[in-house]
Every structure is written in structure tokens, then in C-alpha cells.
Amino acid sequence: MVADANVLAQTLNRIDGRGYKSYSEIRGRFEFDRFTLFIDHIQGDPFAAPSKLRVRVPAQEAALPEDLTAPGIRRIALADFLARSVQAAIRGVGNSARETTRENFRRRRPEQRGGRGSGKSGQIFIDAGGQEVLERTAIKIDPSWVEARIEVGLPAAGRRILGREAHRLLIETLPGLIEAGLLSENLSPQAMRDFVECVENQESIRERLAEFGWLGFIADGSLLPRASGASELPMADAEAIRFQSPESLAVEVKVPNPIGENQTQTLRGMAIRQGITLIVGGGYHGKSTLLRALETSVYPHVPGDGREYVVAAPDLVKIRAEDGRSVSGVDIHAFIDGLPGSPGRAGDRTRTFSSPDASGSTSQAANIAEALEIGARGLLLDEDTSATNFMIRDARMQRLVERADEPITPFIDRIQELHERFGVSTVLVMGGCGDYFEVANTVIMMRDYEAQDATDRAHRIADEYASGRLKEAPGVLEPVAPRSPLADSFRADRGRREESISARGRELILYGEQTLDLRHLAQLVDTSQTRAIARAIRLASQHLMGGTEQGLKKSAPALAEVLEALEAILDEEGLDALDHYAADRRSERHPGNFARPRRYEIAAAINRMRSLKVRPVE
């Protein structure tokens, strides 16, 4: 049934003052002058999760420049821009549509910006992102329309419907917001184009990194440090030293769209080449900041972030020690072998290593093995978050503790093989140990936040002062044995509920009766990615995995194959698929707030499930 805005107005008038449940009468589809409003889900009470709405504007009404809506990265970037623009309109609106000065907005806290009435009354929300530009569900661009997925708190006093407030919210305020945020006539064409083109430039560099033999690129003038440990916003320009490539490591790269006032299409900056790169330097000189910039630059950044021309290969994975995590059947024998208590110390135990409480070194080894298992092309490590005994065993320790008594093959003795045999590069921050000099292809020294090329000096020092240590890898590096996750590991029920899955902020997923701790995933950057991961695990376990412990005959694809199949679904159907599969229906509705996670973070969440059961791939 299709009604128009007048019908909505009449209904709101009729249910004014009634109990909150009567809001269910406004579910449906309403035609407004310039858009269609879909009221998909009504919250149960004023304090519950807000109601879900979609506002769909016909393409000819929105009049977005056609070239900016081209499928692929342009469309993703434009959708991101529009989500931010609707968010800015919401923030500008304050308590009433007429009260729009910036000052008023800034003085109010977010929860004050919407509401009058109880609970979430009057709040309006769209899931626009942070510093990264991600594919997300907040805005959907279709060839014939553009749709904003928003949430509102339907107004109430206590539990009585405030019909006039609801009228004001849905019929007066909302059209203004949508018109301000989505219609091309109200947007700055230049800002819109600059945003999309900047993101496209980043992706264009990312696509060519492998061809150039680079893992990453950091443009001159980039601003890497952040405002604080708790903020991803850039450090104030006056305090920050902008990045400048050392001459010897400098490269130039062309981009498709002209940049800035002088319309340049060539960027100069530092290439991080495939192979082994060491970042050295004194404490507090900016080493970790450089690595962190690479970590998050697997995603594009918004213009003005300071890292918008820092570009990293999409399959770089940050590795750290994470003692206490659970590990299920992971082949870590390349790094750990012959644990005490293993029968004959044969090492078989670490070919399928499991532990509910891994140590620093075993957790770090598992993190590496799991990344390699699903195709990581580069590892990013920081001494600050690594287990020392995993990274190095120096000459003196080699003499005191016999090789036979040390289960760990330190990373330094595998780092070259990783590259030479499997093409997996490493970028390593290491201020505390010079034994790595001889294995590094490039040594970047950070000094007073400036990058210098210290490769030749480091190599000369390595020649002059032998480390005296022996390479102690037992046997050649073998590929990590792939695992099949078993579908029945993923029980989602809890108490009386058949399915209880939710994200609690960026760092936690509640999955059935388990709590998944994702705190240490440095490249998980958005709560909506976490929500997407929770749903993606469910989708994968119900539709893409095979095998149960009992029914061993049923074929079970490898984890890498499961993730490929999942990515194919998301590529094909978009993130809305996460809701379609969950609801087991294709009809349209607000799908929930999702942003696209990488396969590495999805796998990381699966790998941290304490209930995870696997078996080796036949």
C-alpha cells in the first residue's frame, strides 16, 4: 500500500497521546514531494534501539553528477560523501529545523541535539564513517534512486506518543535534512568532486602497488600523527612535522585526477618496497606512528585526514602478541616446535596447535600463521607489541640455552624465507635490536619525526660487528596447513533465543553465549565493520561451511574458500546481503548499519572464537 505524507500526518494526529505501541500504525511507505519515506521498523519503546527508516530520492531529483555515481570506488566514495553530508545536516538541525547555527550545534552534546521527550525521542542518526572511507549501508546509490538509511527516536512523553513532535520530526524536519544532505542542488559540487576524486586517486595507487613492487606509498606532505591516543583526527598542523621522503627512497606516482590548486597529477613520496623493511630510531621519534599510518591505509582516508595519500597494499596484516587468546588447530610449527610436554617433543602438536590461553610467543605465531593461511602478502610488526622471545634470540642466549631446549624459532630466522619462498614481505619497527640489520633490504631511520635512509650504514655496521648468532631454523619454511572450520562451532543461541548476535562497540561481539574480544585487531576501524563481521560469521556458518564433528563425511571447505565465497556474495549483492540472509528474505528494508570488513578481520574474529572447531583440509 502506498500512502502519501498527508496520510502519515493524519495517522500521527490520530495516535497522539496514545500508548507507544500505536506507533506501529505508521509502518509503511509514504510519498513525499521529492522522495519516498519507508518506515520499516518501529522501536518497541522510547528507550529501545531507534526506529529504522529509509528515505529514497529519485535519481532525477537528486541529480547527482553521473560520472561520480559510476559503479566501483566512485560510487562507494560518493555514498560516503553523502552519508557525511546527511550527518552534517542532522547536526546542523539541532532541536528544531530553524535553529541551525554552528555555535548552537557545537554547544550541544549529541544526545541533546535531537531530543525532546523521553528516551531517544527526536534523535536522528545516520551511520557516517570516521576517518576511513568504507563501503557501508548508510547510503545506497541505485541507477534510478539514492537512498539514505536512517534511524530516529519516535517522540514520546513517558510512554505516550507525542504526535505533534513526531509530525514535526518526520514531516517538517526530515524533508529539510534530506534536501540539504542528498540533493545535488544543495551540495557543493566542488567538495563532492574533490572527495570522490581523492578517494579514487588513492585506490588507483593501491591497485598499482604490486606492479611497482611496493607495499606502500607515503606522499610527501602527509600528516601522520593523530590528535591523541584516543582520537583518529589529525594532530594540529602547527605541532606536526609533515612527512618528507628521503631522496634515495623517493618515487613519483601518477594519479588519474588533478590535486589541489596547482592541479598536479604526480605525487612524490616514499615507496616501501616489497621485501624486508626495518624502521629504526630512538624512542619517541615517530616509528610507531609511521607503522600505524600504513596499517590503517589499507583503507582510503577522507580528504583532510593527513593520510589521504598514504596508501598500503590491501593485504597487509598487523601482527602482534596477544597472550590469552584462544587458538584452534593452527599450524605454527614454523615458529614453535617441540613444546615441553609434547610426546618425544616431536613437534606434531604445533602442526595443529590449540590453546585456550596462548602465550605471548605462541599467540604471535598463530596470528602470523592465520594471516598467511588466507593469503596475507605482508606483515606489519612493532616491537612495542611483540613478544621479545618471538622476535630474537641473540648470540649469548644461544650459548646459554641450547637449541634443543628452545621451542621457538625466532622471527628473524624466518623473515627472509617468508619473502623468498612465499613472497610475503615484512615491515618491522625495531629500535632495540640490531641483529635484524643483515636481513633487512631497507632500513628507514626516524629521527625527530623525519625519515632517513639508513640502509647502507646499517649494512656496513652488520659487516663490521658480526652478531655472532647462528641461524637456527629447523628445516625449510613450509606453507601453513589449511584448516576447515566446522559449521557446528558457531552456535548462536542463548537462553531462549535461537539467535543472539550483536556487536558491543568496535571491540566486542556477543555471539550466542560467547564474547569475542577483537580489541587487538588494529585494522578493524569501525563499529559497523564489527557488526558486519558478526553477521558475516553467521552467514558463513549457515551457508558456506560444511562438516560437523560427527558427520565427518560432509565436505568442509577451507577457511580461505569460505572467505572467498563470502566476499563474492558481498561483491555481488552488497552489504545488504548480510540482512537478506539473516532475515531469509529479499524484500527491502533498512538492513542495519554495516561497513565492509576485510577478510583478515573476519577470519581474525572466527579464529578467536573459543568454540571454534576445525579439521585439516583433506
Binding positions for Mg ion, rule: CB under 5 A: 287-288, 384
Residue 438, C-alpha cell as written in the block? 643483515
Which one, 141 or 451, has the nearer CB to ligand ADP?
A: 451
Which one, 137 or 288, has the nearer CB to ligand ADP?
A: 288
465 belongs to the binding site for ligand ADP (CB under 6 A): no
Contact partner at residue 284 from ligand ADP, Mg ion, none, CB < 5 to 8 Å by partner kind: ligand ADP
Which one, 289 or 489, has the nearer CB to ligand ADP?
A: 289
* Total number of residues that touch ligand ADP (CB under 6 A): 16
Which one, 92 or 130, has the nearer CB to ligand ADP?
A: 130
Rounded least distance, CB 549 to ligand ADP, Å: 45
Contact partner at residue 241 from ligand ADP, Mg ion, none, CB < 5 to 8 Å by partner kind: ligand ADP
Contact partner at residue 297 from ligand ADP, Mg ion, none, CB < 5 to 8 Å by partner kind: none
Rounded least distance, CB 415 to ligand ADP, Å: 20
241 belongs to the binding site for ligand ADP (CB under 6 A): yes
Beta strands in 284-434 (DSSP E): 310-312, 316-319, 327-330, 353-355, 378-382, 425-429
Out of 175, 181, 286, 303, the residue judged to bind ligand ADP by CB under 6 A: 286
Which one of 133-141, 233-241, 246-254, 476-484 is the stretch in contact with ligand ADP (CB under 6 A)?
233-241
- What distance in Å separates the CA atoms of residue 163 and residue 179, rounded to the nearest whole number? 23
Rounded least distance, CB 377 to ligand ADP, Å: 24
Q: What are phi and psi for residue 82, nearest 5 degrees? A: -70, -35
Beta bridge partners of 494: 497
283 belongs to the binding site for ligand ADP (CB under 6 A): yes
Hunting for cell 596475507 — which residue is that?
Answer: 376
Residues in the chain: 618
Beta strands in 134-263 (DSSP E): 139-142, 145-152, 156-157, 160-161, 214-219, 226-228, 231-234, 250-259
Contact partner at residue 571 from ligand ADP, Mg ion, none, CB < 5 to 8 Å by partner kind: none
- What distance in Å separates the CA atoms of residue 355 and residue 350, rounded to the nearest whole number? 10
Which one of 34-42, 280-288, 523-531, 574-582 is the stretch in contact with ligand ADP (CB under 6 A)?
280-288
Contact partner at residue 397 from ligand ADP, Mg ion, none, CB < 5 to 8 Å by partner kind: none
Hunting for cell 502506498 — which residue is that?
Answer: 2
Out of 131, 289, 425, 523, the residue judged to bind ligand ADP by CB under 6 A: 289
Rounded least distance, CB 228 to Mg ion, Å: 16
94 belongs to the binding site for ligand ADP (CB under 6 A): no
- What distance in Å separates the CA atoms of residue 255 and residue 273, rounded to the nearest whole number? 19
Site mask for ligand ADP (CB under 6 A), range 203-232, x = bound: ---------------------xx-------
Contact partner at residue 285 from ligand ADP, Mg ion, none, CB < 5 to 8 Å by partner kind: ligand ADP
Contact 133, 300 (CB under 8 A): yes
User: Taking every pair of C-alpha atoms in the chain, what is the biggest distance, in angstroms?
Assistant: 88
Out of 273, 285, 325, 349, the residue judged to bind ligand ADP by CB under 6 A: 285
Contact 81, 141 (CB under 8 A): no
- What distance in Å separates the CA atoms of residue 604 and residue 616, rounded to the nearest whole number? 18
Out of 288, 409, 529, 541, the residue judged to bind ligand ADP by CB under 6 A: 288
Hunting for cell 509502518 — which residue is that?
Answer: 27
- What distance in Å separates the CA atoms of residue 46 and residue 156, rounded to the nearest whole number? 6
Q: By C-alpha distance, which of 176, 184, 167, 179 is closest to 93?
A: 176
Considering only residues 438 to 457 of the shown chain, the ones binding ligand ADP according to CB under 6 A are 446, 449
- Give me the amino acid identity at 231: S
Rounded least distance, CB 354 to ligand ADP, Å: 34
Please give the DSSP secondary-structure letter assigned to residue 226. Answer: E
- What distance in Å separates the CA atoms of residue 596 and residue 129, rounded to the nearest whole number? 11
Which one, 241 or 401, has the nearer CB to ligand ADP?
A: 241
- What distance in Å separates the CA atoms of residue 403 and residue 239, rounded to the nearest whole number? 49
Which one, 232 or 406, has the nearer CB to Mg ion?
A: 232
306 belongs to the binding site for ligand ADP (CB under 6 A): no
- What distance in Å separates the CA atoms of residue 513 and residue 497, rounded to the nearest whole number? 11
Which one, 306 or 591, has the nearer CB to ligand ADP?
A: 306
318 belongs to the binding site for ligand ADP (CB under 6 A): no
Q: By C-alpha distance, which of 23, 352, 332, 338 is closest to 163?
A: 23
125 belongs to the binding site for ligand ADP (CB under 6 A): no
Which one of 130-138, 187-195, 286-294, 486-494 is the stretch in contact with ligand ADP (CB under 6 A)?
286-294
Rounded least distance, CB 481 to ligand ADP, Å: 35
For residue 121, give Cα distances in angstroms to 94, 178, 186, 225, 258.
13, 19, 28, 38, 45
- What distance in Å separates the CA atoms of residue 371 and residue 295, rounded to the nearest whole number? 14
The residues that touch ligand ADP, with contacts defined as CB under 6 A, are 224-225, 235, 239-241, 281, 283-289, 446, 449
